[in-house]
Chain A
Amino acid sequence: MPSIFAKQFKERSTKLSADLQHRFWIQKSLKGYEKNREEKRNRFQNWEAARQSAAETKWEAVNHLDQYLIEFTDKIGARGTKLFWASTAREAREYILNLAQEKNARTIIKSKTMTSEEIHLNEALAGAGYEVIESDLGEFIVQLRREVPYHLVFPAMHLTRGEISHLFHEKLGSAETDSPEELTMIVRRKMRAQYCKADIGISGANFAIAETGMISITENEGNARLTTALPKVHVALLGIEKVLPKLNDLALFLPMLATAGAGQQITAYNSFIGGPRQSDEVDGPEEFHIVLLDNRRTELLADPEQRDALHCIRCGACLNVCPIFRNVGGQSYGTTYQGPIGSVITPHLRGLQDWKHLSSASSLCGACTEVCPVKIDLHHHLLHNRRNAAALESGRWERRAFRVFAFLVNRQALFSGVTMICRFFQSFHRLISGTKADPLRAWTATREVPMIAPQSFREYWKSRQK
């Protein structure tokens, strides 16, 4: 029986993939990215060697994760950072909720963090009565629409300026405009007041440097810098897999993340934070908390075949090239992480039985594996998940069907006979193909059944021999 998530995915993706306007829009917005990515990638002296090197660095970090995590937490802890290790999403949420209560917080400002989407932090904080504001423009837009991000890097890429203007008009009372610049300035003005007012700033992190005990945050807008500079308390939420061994590793990872993710040579702000405000500094938060989240990452780690999925730097490159993502859209998945990487890791993070359908949401074209800057074997992992899911099923009907097929193809005369009968009936089937009367409708509603050749190869060969 397909899970409720599988049903939802099927419903949403069926609807959206038939929406030609949506498809056109997504292709259009990814065009500029493709051009820029090509151009920036060509500036590398050797992009393929850079990928291999990045993959090896991540392999080293993930396969010695215990060592590097201890080094990272010892170093950053020694500089006055408070650390919390969370095994589950609930523990992470509760820690942050308790902290907010302890600090008598009212307003909490956030910069973009997919990990907080993963643990449903906003809902928990809002439910407890705190005002939670996403400061990243795209995240703010989807928050206003009460939607989940469409794409892990470009959360609002599915919306037109008209829709955004309308949204702002309705929710913020701003005048309608069709200028992206004006729309951006509306949010800039709104956020300015919030940074100073907020009691707590919550961020994610792109990397955690073991050697020097720092987190690294990559962003273009400057909202993460403000979120981590102005409020009195800064909380960074990060998955345990974010560790890199050396500070110098960033020299490779920062340009690779920017190139693969957004077609930029390097992102506008790459900030390294190694503690709260120090005694000789003029500003910065008084308290800095790091929440390290497991949330079943150790289960993925325990699968050596798919362990490299933890190399992911969340650049989103695999989404951008994925023919499935580009047709069904990011919100159809119902997952925190969309696209190929989401389809690979969600069954590990949320259970194979419920999410195995995502392994089939793939054409196995391998475009994702080809672009991944850290060489995750994405399309093979989708196959691994299919295999693992098949082992869970009894598969009785499938096995029977194949037994019948094997029986037929091994008996030549019978096979030709059945083929002839099918050929005869197929000419009638064409009349009802895809209609409600069609027993094969599940297949034919959106596809064509190929016609059986009027002459089989065997028949053709025979006629030639004469």
Chain B
Amino acid sequence: MSQREEIIGRIREALRLVAQSPGHRDAPDKNRPIGASPRDWLPSVPSDSESQIEAFARCSADLKTRFIQVNSLAEASAQVNKIGRAEGWNLVASHRAPILEEALSNIGLPVLYIENTNADPERADVGITGCDALVAQTGSILLTARSAGGRALSVLPPHHLVIARESQVIADLPAAFELLREIYGDNFPSFMTLITGPSRTGDIERIVVLGAHGPKTLTVILVKNH
């Protein structure tokens, strides 16, 4: 008998006795879920897109994510250049995506494309990526190996900069998982992640330090009307 059959067999044997349902000690129906979706008890999110962007901005401020709103891709490009000058970048790492092409068109710095063989984003000062969505409820960025140039680009360089379109702002976490299904069907990328704020740790005296292993700085540039 294979190991798998052995363990599955033990599980089936164990499950022959039925366990009481959760919350059976509570007063009857006191805490029964009231709706059919977690949306009814998760933190609430406004429904119009303008307020959702505001909500995302509020979460970003809490988490020390730099959130910048611009009106065009040209403006986004100007912002990228400005931040690059301020931080003294020497090398930019990025991936091939339509939204990034224009934003990086006049950056005036060498750009390392992750699709090139032997590209090592470790040497770069910043990783610039696209994403799948921005989640207003939590201030999270949803990205995948396909939408953001693989696994390492968004975590290895000390600064992660995301360029997103206004239409990519979504309300909440249930919407994020629905969106993944819509975009990828059953053919999911091997890696997907929800990024919420820069890398952080509280392992020393529970004091928050940013940039534990991943990016110390996280910037989101939202291109409106796009």
Contacts and interface: CB of A to CB of B under 8 A. Distances in A.
Interface of A: 29, 32-33, 43-53, 55-56, 58-59, 62-66, 69-70, 73, 79, 83-87, 91, 135-138, 141, 154-157, 159-161, 164, 180-181, 183-185, 187-188, 191-192, 196, 212, 214, 220-223, 225-226, 228-230, 240, 247-248, 250-252, 254-255, 262, 265-278, 280-284, 288, 292, 294, 298-299, 301-302, 304-305, 307-308, 311, 374-375, 377, 380
B46 interface: no
A221 B177 contact: no
Contacts of A269: 193-196, 199, 214
Contact of A188 (B6, B122, B212): B212
Contacts of A250: 173, 177
Contacts of B193: 225, 269-272
B168 to A, nearest CB: 18
Which 3 A-B pairs have CB atoms at the shortest separation, nearest pair first? Answer: A222-B214, A55-B22, A229-B151
A274 B195 CA distance: 17
B197 interface: yes
Contact of A184 (B114, B189, B194, B201): B201
Contacts of A160: 205
Contact of A65 (B15, B172, B190, B212): B15
B14 A298 contact: yes
Contacts of B189: 274, 278, 281
Given A29-B205, A85-B7, A223-B212, A56 B22 contact: yes
A226 B214 contact: yes
Contacts of B146: 280-281
B181 interface: yes
B138 interface: yes
Nearest to B6: A87
A159 B202 CA distance: 12
B116 to A, nearest CB: 9
Contacts of B25: 377, 380
A221 B4 CA distance: 34
Contacts of B38: 50, 53, 248, 251-252
A429 B17 CA distance: 54
A222 B155 contact: yes
21 contacts: A44-B43, A48-B31, A51-B31, A52-B32, A66-B12, A70-B8, A79-B190, A87-B3, A180-B204, A184-B211, A192-B122, A251-B172, A254-B173, A255-B43, A268-B214, A274-B189, A283-B145, A288-B190, A302-B13, A374-B22, A377-B25
Contact of A63 (B19, B59, B149): B19
A282 B150 CA distance: 5
A301 B195 contact: no
A271 B43 contact: no
A56 B19 CA distance: 12
Interface string B156-193: 10000000000000001110111011000010111111
Contact of B138 (A196, A228, A255, A277): A255
B115 A282 contact: yes
Given A229-B156, A294-B7, 8 more contacts: A44-B42, A48-B31, A62-B19, A66-B8, A184-B212, A191-B213, A269-B193, A272-B188
B215 interface: yes
Given A49-B34, A271-B191, A302-B14, A266 B6 contact: no
Contacts of B205: 29, 160-161, 180
A342 B205 CA distance: 24
Contact of B40 (A49, A58, A135, A283): A49
